[in-house]
Chains A and B, each alone.
Chain A
């Protein structure tokens, strides 16, 4: 069972460059999420998706874009990288159904991004 797979594991970008962080899950989960984790801070939600074709902003969406063309994939796009985007990025997925809200989120191993 692969679970949630994130690539790459590490990346260094120059200011102004763009990149896409990849996330794939093989658990047929309908919900997917992107978080960032800064040193000494709790995880912050960037974007989430409740199903293919549907995405919504989280707490800190500025500077990022997402798409969800399939159930399995949820890539995160950085268009103009800035030093403030240096962080560890986690993708997560969960299965949610009508009337239930104790959905467990399963996390990937993270992508460590440095913008210099």
Chain B
């Protein structure tokens, strides 16, 4: 069964600190892996997309890594800010025909930044 598991479920850190969120997946055949940020009461917003040939991708203070051999990904947040408080969702895509991607969503890590 294709699954995406994220850890921890929730995390609280002080403003200015760094943190790393984990994602393990069993989705096969793998196409690409995405990280989304979901603010409370809002829809998910894409942060990064990585194919199997990429092992790191940055978007400002967000850096995602991918190890396709061990089927693990991480999202590292540097110098956290209060606005980083959100849920972070790992999404894995199955190899697809033209356009019809099958996305498997993780349950997310709820990150809270405290001043």
Number of interface residues of A (CB under 8 A): 26
Chain A, Cβ-Cβ closest to B5? A42
CA distance A60 to B104 in the complex (A): 13
Residue contact A42 to B99, C-beta cutoff 8 Å: no
Report whether over half of chain A's contact residues are helix, strand or loop; otherwise say mixed: loop
> Of B43, B103, B105, which one neighbours A110 at CB under 8 angstroms?
B43
A90:B43 contact, CB within 8 angstroms: yes
**Interface residue range, chain B:** 20 to 34
Residues of A within 8 A of B (CB): 4, 31, 40-45, 50, 90, 92, 96-110
Q: Can you list 14 pairs linking A and B with CB atoms under 8 Å apart?
A: A31-B99, A42-B4, A42-B107, A42-B108, A43-B44, A50-B99, A50-B100, A96-B98, A97-B99, A101-B101, A105-B103, A108-B43, A109-B41, A110-B41
Q: Which 9 A-B pairs have the closest CB atoms?
A: A107-B43, A42-B105, A96-B99, A43-B105, A104-B46, A42-B107, A107-B44, A90-B43, A108-B43
